[in-house]
Every structure is written in C-alpha cells, then in structure tokens.
Amino acid sequence: MRIDKLLWCLRYYKTRSIATEAVKKGHITVNGQVAKASREVFPTDKITLRKDQINYKLTILDMPQNRLGAKLVDMYRKDETPKEAFEHLELLKLSKEHYRANGTGRPTKKDRREIDDYLWESDETEDINKTE
C-alpha cells in the first residue's frame, strides 16, 4: 500500500491529498529514509512522521483495506511515540497563552454593541441631569 494512502487510512491526515503534501515536504520517513508518496509500505516497516511539532514513531502491524474508524486504528499500527513529545507540545501551548490572554485585543461585535449601549446609556443620564 502507498504511504500516503496508509497515513490517510490510519487517520493521521484528514484527506489523502494532505497526506501526499506532507510526504512531498519530507515530513515522512520509512525505515530511516525519506519517502515519496508512491512508496510502498509493508507490515513491520517503521514510519516516522512530523505533524503538529511532534515526531510520531509507528510500526505497521497489518495493512488496512480502507479508511478505519478511530477505535480500530490500534489494530494496524503500534505507536512508539515517546510521552515526552506530547508533554513538550503541552508546554508549547501553555507558553503561547502567556503572550495573549483570552478576551484581550480587538473587541468582538457583541462586545462593541455592549460598549455602545453602555456609552449611550451614560450619555442619556447626563442629558437628563442637565435639564433638571
């Protein structure tokens, strides 16, 4: 089976064309060699793929006939990705939150309407106080 089709069947990529692009960019290696999209893979092959800043390490156990449900994927591959890679990803996500907190920056449409209502309300109370 082709490497791009296998990665699509094992649900690492949402579409086969995205899997093909990842292979063309050199994000996929099979048994330590950079693969082309048409590269045939077989059971016991070791695949390394880089996705979302994580280097996934897989061993193919069996070949699926077509795209699988998420619960069945583990029957066809053995995931040997170290847990440190996932912890590193969590640290990256936490560090990005430090730069910009949620709710800061440009107000949403709803926020602008609430601000306008508040400002108009305060202007109306000032006008009433001046006339009295």
Assigned token pair, 32: 């330590």
Does any domain span residue 58? yes
Domain containing residue 23: 3-99
pLDDT digits (tens, 9 = 90+) for 43-101: 999 999 998 888 999 999 999 999 989 899 999 999 898 888 888 888 887 776 656 56
Does any domain span residue 110? no
The count of structural domains within the chain is 1
Cα dihedral 38, 14, 28, 66 sign:
negative
Does any domain span residue 114? no
Does any domain span residue 124? no
CATH code of the domain covering residue 13: 3.10.290.10
Does any domain span residue 94? yes
Higher pLDDT pick, 50 / 106: 50
Rounded to 5°, angle at Cα 5 from 68 and 84:
75
Assigned token pair, 113: 């309407």
Q: What is the 3-state secondary structure (H, E, C) of 88-118?
A: HHHHHHHHHHHHCCCCCCCCCHHHHHHHHHH
